[in-house]
Amino acid sequence: MSVEATRGAVDSVALWYHTIDLGAGVVTPGWFDLRPIVDRMPWPDVRGRRCLDVGTYDGFLAFELERRGAAHVVALDIPDHRDWDWPPDQRAHGGEHLARLAGPEKGAGFAVAREALGSGVEKVDMSAYELSPERVGTFDVVVCGSLLLHLRDPLRALEAIRGVCAGEFMSSEQVALGLSLAHPRRPLATLDGSGPRLQWWVPNAAGHRRMLFSAGFEILRHTGPYCEPFGPSHPARHPPLRALPRQFAQRAVAGHAGVPHAAALSRPRV
């Protein structure tokens, strides 16, 4: 694919979620840019292993698994905007609204990036809840990023992930920064569950680790809170003045302005 053709394909995608370097100076204008923090995540050794990325969206973590030497990578995502866990008051129209914002085809960005990268990642249309060894087999390494907060039943999803994880599971999730600092050991979560933002439970860092534990994982190592930076197209990239103090605080505590995250590497314990 020529650089011009790649640029054209990137421009044809209505909304990029991930900022991905496709080579030759072409970078997708994502809402989030994981590149500065990707090495802060507690990666296991993935070389030669069979790997799964749950809730892949444009595929940043799946391509990263491949780049790190995975033998085989499966990238899982829901095929349609209507398949998100919409709150009841949004269920009738949420999918259509999102389709207007993000384009009708849910996996368009992934397909473009995959082709541009010449990647061999295999895409599977499935929700995290539906994961089972019968349907997808088992994996040496499973990763999941920024998905749990969008799920009404995150512990059910984590148990389904455990069911297909034969080795290690790396989970990187949004955390409530204030609750993480005020309650470093007590597992807590805030609940949204209303409106179009598709956010349900956002735990503090201790809550994120407890979610993994109570889904049957043991924690091998974990990070402190860090911020996942906004990408070029995120509205908060150009914040109003009143948002600046918050962003300065985030920079001071977590290194970047963005969405506070914490990550843990775990393995099934039951």
Partner 1 sequence: MSVADAQAAVEANPVWYHTIEVAPGVTTPGYFDLRPIAGRLPWPDVEGKRCLDVGSFDGFYAFELERRGAAEVVAVDVEGPQDFDWPPHLRGWGPAAADQMSGGRHAAGFEVARRLLGSSVERVHGTVYDLDPAELGRFDVVTMGSLLLHLREPLRALEAVRGVCRGCFLSVDQIDLGLSLLSPRRPVARLDGQSRLMHWWVPNAAGHRRMVRSAGFAIERTTGPHAVRYGRSHAGHGARATNPFTVARELVAGRGPLHQAVLARPVG
Given the rule CB under 8 A, which residues bind partner 1? 87-89, 152-153, 155-156, 159, 162, 179, 186-194, 200-201, 203, 207, 210-211, 213-216, 269-270
Closer to partner 1 by CB, 125 or 192: give it: 192
Contact 119, 74 (CB under 8 A): no
Return the number of other C-beta atoms located less than 10 Å from residue 154's C-beta: 22
Return the number of other C-beta atoms located less than 10 Å from residue 250's C-beta: 20
Closer to partner 1 by CB, 164 or 189: give it: 189
Interacting residues of 262 by C-beta distance below 8 A, sequence separation 6+: 172, 173, 175, 180, 205, 208, 209, 222, 223, 224, 225, 226
Q: How far is the CB of 231 from partner 1 (least distance, A)?
A: 28
Angle between helices 108-117 and 3-12 (to 10 degrees): 170
Q: How far is the CB of 211 from partner 1 (least distance, A)?
A: 7
Closer to partner 1 by CB, 117 or 158: give it: 158
Q: How far is the CB of 216 from partner 1 (least distance, A)?
A: 4
Q: How far is the CB of 193 from partner 1 (least distance, A)?
A: 3
Task: Specify burial of residue 213 (Cβ count, 10 A radius: 0-12, 13-18, 19+).
Answer: middle
Q: How far is the CB of 120 from partner 1 (least distance, A)?
A: 34
Smallest CA-to-CA distance from 75 within 45, 55, 89 is with 55
Supply 132's token pair: 């089972």
* Distance, CA of 194 to CA of 203 (rounded, Å): 17
* Distance, CA of 36 to CA of 228 (rounded, Å): 8
Q: How far is the CB of 106 from partner 1 (least distance, A)?
A: 23
Closer to partner 1 by CB, 87 or 260: give it: 87
Supply 225's token pair: 């809170």
Q: How far is the CB of 43 from partner 1 (least distance, A)?
A: 25
Closer to partner 1 by CB, 19 or 90: give it: 90
Closer to partner 1 by CB, 64 or 85: give it: 85
Closer to partner 1 by CB, 65 or 147: give it: 147
Supply 7's token pair: 């640029």
